[in-house]
Structure 1
Amino acid sequence: MAELADAKAHPAHLIVVVAFSRADNGLLVPAYDPMQFDTPEEATRMARYLAVKCAGVLAWIRDAQPEAGGYGSPTILFQSGDVPDLE
Structure 2
Amino acid sequence: MSELADAKPHPARLIIVVAFSRADNGHLVPAYDPMQFDTPEDATRMARYLAVKCVGVLAWVRDAQPDVGGYGPPTILFQSGDVPEME
Q: 1:3 to 1:16 in 2, by over 3 A?
A: farther
Matched, 1:2 2:41: no
Alignment of 1:52-63 (within 5 A): 52-63=52-63
Count of residues in correspondence between the two structures: 85
1:5 Cα shift?
Answer: 2.1
State the SS of the aligned residue for 1:84: coil
In the superposition, relative to structure 1, how do residues 53 and 2 fare at CA in structure 2: closer, same or farther (>3 Å)?
same
> Aligned to 1:62, what secondary structure does the other structure show?
strand
State the structure with more CA Rg: 2
Aligned letter for 2:7? A
Which runs of 5 or more structure 2 residues have no equivalent in the other structure?
none
User: Structure 1: any 5+ residue segments left out of the alignment?
Assistant: none
The TM-score normalised by the length of structure 1 is: 0.91
Aligned to 1:83: 83
In the aligned structure 1, how far is the partner of 2:81 from the partner of 2:73?
22
Distance 2:7 2:14 in 1: 19
Cα RMSD for the two superposed structures: 1.6
Identity of aligned residues (%): 80
Cα distance change of structure 1 residues 15 and 3 upon mapping to structure 2, 3 Å threshold: farther
* TM-score, normalised relative to structure 2: 0.91
Secondary structure of the corresponding residue to residue 46 of structure 1: helix
